[in-house]
Homo-oligomer: A and B are copies of this chain.
Amino acid sequence: MSKAVFYHAGCPVCVDAEQTVLNYLDAAKVSVEVVHLGADRDRIPEAELAGVQSVPALLIDGNVYHINFGASLEDVKKG
């Protein structure tokens, strides 16, 4: 079982992508942790280390997939 992390910041495009990702990923193959970086600001450094540059992003098997372009991490830090 792989573990994935879906980083978002509550923006509309984030919520929309989150629903699709959680709906269609195979729960038998991967478990997804959802992290709201706007609320959980302590997780921002971890996200940056993993290579997250914008949200929404899906970290899976060590690879970061940036989905659309919602908000940069710099904007999340300011917000």
A residues near B, CB below 8 A?
2, 4, 16-17, 20, 23-30, 60-61, 63, 65-69
Contact = CB atoms under 8 A, between A and B. Distances in A.
Contacts of A69: 66, 69
Nearest to A25: B24
A64 B46 CA distance: 28
B66 A65 contact: no
Given A65-B68, A66-B67, A60 B29 contact: no
B68 A16 contact: no
A18 to B, nearest CB: 11
Contacts of A24: 2, 4, 25-26, 29-30, 60
A20 to B, nearest CB: 6
